[in-house]
Amino acid sequence: DVKVTQSSRYLVKRTGEKVFLECVQDMDHENMFWYRQDPGLGLRLIYFSYDVKMKEKGDIPEGYSVSREKKERFSLILESASTNQTSMYLCASSAGQGGGELFFGEGSRLTVL
């Protein structure tokens, strides 16, 4: 059974703190993604990666960075959290080169106070 696991379902952080969101997939997928989900805005792509050590900016990369040291793991980093980064964060993975199903994690709801 396909599985994408996000390390934390709920986090509460303070403004200025560094935040790590971890995502692990067990499907040997090449592609991994971080999305942000906000009501009325759908899913917006923050960063994605086609391979280990590779990363590409999505539509809203400002204030975020990512790390992909191993194929199965893709981390989202908020260097200095701000209140406008309070949101639901969804990790996803897919196989191959284009036109493939995205498999999502359960999501991490981050609140920045």
Partner 1 sequence: GENVEQHPSTLSVQEGDSAVIKCTYSDSASNYFPWYKQELGKRPQLIIDIRSNVGEKKDQRIAVTLNKTAKHFSLHITETQPEDSAVYFCAAEGDSWGKFQFGAGTQVVVTP
Residues in touch with partner 1 (CB under 8 A):
4, 31, 33, 35, 40-45, 48, 50, 56, 58-59, 90, 94, 97-102, 104-107
Q: From residue 27, how far is each of 8, 24, 39, 59, 80 by CA, in Å?
A: 20, 9, 30, 26, 32
Q: Which is nearer to partner 1, 91 or 112 (CB)?
A: 91
Least distance between partner 1 and beta carbon 18 (Å):
26
Neighbours of 42 (CB within 10 A): 9
Q: Which is nearer to partner 1, 45 or 77 (CB)?
A: 45
